[in-house]
Amino acid sequence: METVIDVSGVDKMFKRKVHALRGVDLQVGAGEVFGLLGPNGAGKSTLVKVLLTVIKPTKCDGTLLGHRIGNKSALREVGYLPEHHNFPKYLTSRQVLRYFGAMCGVERKERNRRAEELLEVVNMSNWATHKLGTYSKGMRQRIGIAQALMNNPKLVILDEPTDGVDPIGRRDIREILTRLKDEGRTVFLNSHLLSELEMVCDRVAIMVHGLMRQQGTIEELTKGQSGFVLKSHTPIEQVMIDSVTQAMKGVECSWETGSNTIRLSTSNTDSVQPAIDTLRSKGVVLDSFGFQRPSLEELFIQAVNEDEGGATPGATKSGKRGQA
Amino acid sequence: MNIKVMQTKAIFIDAYRELNAKKLFWLTMGLNLLAVLIYASLGINERGFSVLFWTFDGEFNTNLMTKTTFYKLEFLLWGVPIWLSWCATILALISTAGIIPDLVSGGTIEPVLSKPIGRIRLFLTKYLTGLFFVGAQILVFSIGCFLVLRIRAGVTEFGLFLAIPIVLAFFSYLFAVCSLVGLVTKSTITALLLTILFWVFVFILNVGENVMLTNRETAAVRLIDAPGKIESQERFATKRIEQLREEGKAIPGQDGVPLPDGAADSLEAINPTLQLARSKMVDAERAFETWSTWESRVYAIKLIMPKTSETLSLLSRNLINEDELGGLLDMMNGINEENDPNAPDRRVAERVQEVMDKRSIGWILGTSFGFEFVVLGLATLIFVRRDF
């Protein structure tokens, strides 16, 4: 698979005090919707800013769209929505889109056409001639997303795109993301809204304290933690567990003494049937049966808690924490 | 279209919209036009001085100077040093002081820096937008004054347009400081206040140097005159001693006791003014040394600073000559034809002017642009290296 973002050992130390990024490795493939998660101060926005030359890294090897990180040419094909953006309030949304289109080198005719098209996409056509100063936060966010798409980018980086957006707006943004994916663009998302990410992302990475803790598809990250769960009406005895284990042949079976729940670590429905048959033959009445995997939120909290120092937000001060 | 041209055009259009939104740009433009109207409303004729349709009879009439000289002088004495240098510059600073702080404010800079534009080009283009719009204001004022001169005095004086590069150069020294402070503090108010403070400092430095130069040259003139005065007093005393000798009288000492023949202090004793003249010469020597030392110290500081006053005076050097002014400048300086042309005040003024005139255009602009280059270079370096 073609790699759009391929960086390794990204390090950023602010004023020799705050160690924001500590040797981050990141690979994002073309056409993926990639989600970057992490608590406040984990270094997510810093990493994005390093990729976009807004922040100079202390150390960084790698490429963005095949260009060395820091090379401005790569940015012609990148769209970016910053987290706390402040687009000129004296401009109308149409002017904002045209201005950023010109800054990306989009020709005038195409710029004007694209601005109208994107205003339509983000449902802001009726507000095209109003100044941004009169917009709500959600409306500004929509315009922010539209400006990120003005140059028809191969890679779209959105930092907290649903920040301040109401549920209807969030749904609209999800639709835009799906559309971008269908068009074959790569989308890089930074977000706190884990449920949102779970719905749209192909792959996710979890960052804590400037370190990349986990990276992969949701299936890969939950591997070993997902499986079928059987719940009986009454507590299950050890004898029954032994019978189930024997029947399952190689599938790991976990159960806590006195509990009425058995967890089978397999995603294959067929391979679970012998366990059901065994339990039913022993007279066990089953209340429920279904596939379960940890949510992104559970994975996230787990990753944060696993990190030394727990979920304490904020970047690390140099010398107070060990290097990765 | 080339991407660099496209981006530059977009930045300029954005800067215009920003200034337009602030209203100050149009306010300043309106005030410029008002200043032109005031300029046009003043006039001179055979009877005297006129304002709109009213004439105030008096000596200030076309016998003293031509209409052309009047309007040029009005432009040089009021248009440039008062309107363009102070009023319009303050308004221009207020309108443009926010350009750099607004650029680097949180949330604004990130989307711009993430576009394919180099930081040096971005910063310098933003800086140039400030100069461009101030240049537009000066252009409007200059065109207005040019038309007034054409219509009211019947003269076509393209030299007036020299005001555009000269006043723009003067403004650019201040705008470089404003941009640096704005970049470092990210505050428009701080940038504006510190720039005005810097401007006042440069002004005081200029005035200070002028005072020291005048005092030095006053002492120099006294030093030049002193030997002649002493010699004259000595001649007078020698003559008096000879007179007393011929009359067979003794030379009276200062305490009334007659001095022996050939006493060393006989000249001073017979003519106390000689002693005073000699002590004045010693004072003048001391004053010359003191003022020279201080003047050279202030000059050393001034050397690295922008030459605001001298830059503006370049316009008068080129726009008007002494023949055109005739005795007008002397009259304005309180020196009339009845005065002795060798009067000390006049000689001091001439010597000071001579020192000023020795400062070439290359020196004035070279050192000033050198300052601007360093300040702007520092600001660009900070902008390029900063994490946003």
Residue B326 has pLDDT above 60, yes or no: no
- Residue whose C-alpha is closest to residue A91's, from A75, A79, A103, A106: A103
CB contact under 8 A, A53 and B113: yes
Which of B10, B20, B107 lies nearest to residue A99, judging by beta carbons?
B10
Opening angle at CA B58, ends B55 and B64, nearest 5: 105
User: In this structure, what token pair is assigned to residue A141?
Assistant: 């966010």
For residue B242, the model assigns a pLDDT of 86
Given pLDDT bands bounded at 50, 70 and 90, which one contains residue A260? confident
**C-beta of residue B315 within 8 angstroms of C-beta of residue B166:** yes
CB contact under 8 A, A72 and B6: no
For residue A110, the model assigns a pLDDT of 95
Query: Residue B87 gets which letter from DSSP?
Result: I
Residue B252 CA: distances (Å) to CA of B30, B35, B302: 79, 72, 55
Q: Tokens 């379960």 — which residue?
A: A292
- Report the DSSP beta bridge partners of residue A134: none
Q: Where are the domains of chain B?
A: 3-186+361-385, 219-288
Kindly list the residues from chain A whose CB atom is less than 8 angstroms away from the CB atom of residue B1. 107-108
pLDDT > 70 fraction of chain A, expressed in percent and rounded? 94
SS3 B121: helix
Residue A204 has pLDDT above 80, yes or no: yes
Residue B52 CA: distances (Å) to CA of B74, B222, B337: 15, 49, 33
Q: What is the pLDDT of residues B256-298, one digit of tens each?
A: 677 776 676 778 777 888 888 889 999 999 999 999 999 999 9
Residue B235 has pLDDT above 80, yes or no: yes
Q: What is the pLDDT of residues B31-71, one digit of tens each?
A: 989 999 999 999 888 888 888 888 888 888 888 888 888 88
Whole-angstrom distance between the N-terminal and C-terminal Cα of chain B?
30
CA gap A142, A209 in Å, rounded: 30
- Report the DSSP beta bridge partners of residue A270: none
User: Count H helices, E strands: chain B?
Assistant: 16, 5
CA gap A243, A104 in Å, rounded: 66
Q: What is the pLDDT of residues A124-140, one digit of tens each?
A: 999 999 999 999 988 99
Mutate to test the interface with A, among B110, B129, B381, B388 (most CBs of A within 10 A): B110
CA gap A236, A256 in Å, rounded: 9
CA gap B203, B81 in Å, rounded: 13
CB contact under 8 A, A87 and B108: yes
CA gap A35, A190 in Å, rounded: 6
For residue A320, the model assigns a pLDDT of 42
Kindly list the residues from chain A whose CB atom is less than 8 angstroms away from the CB atom of residue B7. 102-103, 105
Residue A323 has pLDDT above 50, yes or no: no
Kindly list the residues from chain B whose CB atom is less than 8 angstroms away from the CB atom of residue A73. 116
Strands A203-208 and A33-37: parallel
Closest residue on chain B to A15 (Cα): B387
User: Count H helices, E strands: chain A?
Assistant: 10, 15
Which of B106, B111, B388 lies nearest to residue A55, judging by beta carbons?
B388
For residue A311, the model assigns a pLDDT of 40
Whether complex ipTM tops 0.85? no
> Can you give the pTM of this predicted structure?
0.82
The count of residues in chain A is 324
For residue B245, the model assigns a pLDDT of 81
Given pLDDT bands bounded at 50, 70 and 90, which one contains residue B173? very high
CA gap A68, B17 in Å, rounded: 35
Kindly list the residues from chain B whose CB atom is less than 8 angstroms away from the CB atom of residue A53. 113-114
- Residue whose C-alpha is closest to residue A145's, from A103, A182, A189, A91: A189
Lowest-confidence range among B88-102, B111-125, B328-342?
B328-342
For residue B333, the model assigns a pLDDT of 55
Per-residue pLDDT, averaged over A219-230, amounts to 80
- Residue whose C-alpha is closest to residue A146's, from A73, A105, A206, A96: A96
- Which class in CATH covers the domain with range A227-292? alpha beta
CA gap B346, B265 in Å, rounded: 36
Q: Where are the domains of chain A?
A: 3-221, 227-292
Q: What is the pLDDT of residues B288-309, one digit of tens each?
A: 999 999 999 999 999 999 999 8
Query: Residue B282 gets which letter from DSSP?
Result: H
CA gap A119, A53 in Å, rounded: 28
User: In this structure, what token pair is assigned to residue B172?
Assistant: 């650019």
Per-residue pLDDT, averaged over B120-140, amounts to 94
Residue A71 CA: distances (Å) to CA of A4, A61, B42: 14, 12, 60
Q: What is the pLDDT of residues A5-51, one digit of tens each?
A: 999 999 999 988 889 999 999 999 999 999 999 888 889 999 999 99
- Residue whose C-alpha is closest to residue B69's, from B290, B275, B319: B319
Give the side-chain half-sphere CA count within 13 A for A12. 26
pLDDT > 70 fraction of chain B, expressed in percent and rounded? 91
**Count of Cβ atoms closer than 10 Å to residue B195 Cβ:** 22
User: In this structure, what token pair is assigned to residue B81?
Assistant: 């040093």
Residue B247 CA: distances (Å) to CA of A58, B242, B243, B251, B267: 102, 9, 6, 11, 17
CB contact under 8 A, B107 and A100: no
Which of A74, A85, A107 lies nearest to residue B111, judging by beta carbons?
A85
Residue B314 has pLDDT above 80, yes or no: yes
Which of B6, B17, B385 lies nearest to residue A91, judging by beta carbons?
B17
CB contact under 8 A, B3 and A78: no
Lowest-confidence range among A302-316, B72-86, B138-152?
A302-316
For residue A277, the model assigns a pLDDT of 87
Nearest CA-CA distance, residue A163 and chain B, Å: 14
Kindly list the residues from chain A whose CB atom is less than 8 angstroms away from the CB atom of residue B113. 52-54
CA gap B174, B308 in Å, rounded: 9
Q: Is the dihedral of CA B149, B152, B155, B156 positive or negative?
A: positive
CA gap B204, B254 in Å, rounded: 48
* Strands of B229-360, DSSP E: 251-252, 258-259
Closest residue on chain B to A95 (Cα): B14
Q: In what order do the strands lie in the sheet with A227-232?
A: A253-255, A261-264, A227-232, A286-292
Per-residue pLDDT, averaged over B181-203, amounts to 96
CB contact under 8 A, A87 and B112: no
| CATH 3.40.50.300 assigned to A3-221 | yes
CB contact under 8 A, A56 and B9: no
Nearest CA-CA distance, residue B311 and chain A, Å: 36
Given pLDDT bands bounded at 50, 70 and 90, which one contains residue A242? confident
Query: Residue B96 gets which letter from DSSP?
Result: H
* Strands of chain B, DSSP E: 42-44, 48-51, 54-57, 251-252, 258-259
**Count of Cβ atoms closer than 10 Å to residue A256 Cβ:** 11
- Residue whose C-alpha is closest to residue A176's, from A194, A164, A193, A162: A162
Q: What is the pLDDT of residues B102-129, one digit of tens each?
A: 999 888 999 999 999 999 999 999 999 9
